Amino acid sequence: MSLLENKTAIVTGAGSGIGRAIAVLFAKEGAQVVVSDVDEKGGNETVDEITKAGGKAFFFKADTSSPEDNRKLVDEAVKKYGALHFAVNNAGIGGPLADTGDYPIDGWDKVISINLSGVFYGMRYQIPAILNAGGGSIINMASILGQVATPMSPAYVAAKHGVVGLTKAAALSYASRNVRINAIGPAYIRTPLIEKSLDEATINALIGLHPIGRLGEPNEVAELALWLISDKASFVTGAYYAVDGGYLAQ
């Protein structure tokens, strides 16, 4: 029997990169996946990849910075598949690059609303549905920058630190109610966003930050997510797991 057989999972930011890798792997392991993103084209491509491989999935467009979109997303998952068991709050943006004293206010508001408030809004509606299903598991996508900092990204660093703290607080609230909540902290992962937006010299500089000598791959994050979301991690909650090629060990 597959690890997630007959379970329903929401994955946000699943139109590409890490989110797509997680959605595809969950479906391969038997989950019915609600693929969510603001990018309709990418989201539908993820659904096509899942269904062509024999899996079950549908796309629902949702902006994680909207409480109402998060509510509708959960409602649609339950309406379509009867219950919600798992969620991966993966959607996020990098935001502007600037020193704190020069950081654009609108950039700060946007990064915090998507990367931090969006995780809260997700859990706000996911948790009651998961409780109604008898329990389950949630993963919040943090970052190595949920543990350390980098200059020029105060909003992103603050949001990802907040995700780690929010994860721990929620995990404590629901540990006795059969809902496990954990965070994953990827380092720099080779996604389409990185490959399209950065030149070769910049990518090589990023590689140099990782003792393992390369960037991570989306499937490497997905494999950890699969373990954490499944019953194989039944005694794990309130934890932060780095997928970082040794970045945080330096």
In the DSSP assignment, the letter for residue 67 is: H
Catalytic residue among 81, 125, 156, 241: 156
In what helix (H) or strand (E) does residue 40 lie, and over which residues does it extend? helix 40-52
- Specify the amino acid at residue 49: E
For the sheet with 136-141, list strands across it: 56-61, 32-37, 8-12, 86-89, 136-141, 179-186, 240-243
184: left (phi over 0), alpha (psi -120 to 50) or beta: beta
Q: What values do phi and psi take at 243, rounded to 5? A: -125, 85
Which two three-digit tokens encode residue 108? 């700060």
CA triplet 112, 113, 119: central angle to 5 degrees? 95
Assess whether 125 carries a catalytic annotation. no
The catalytic residues are 156
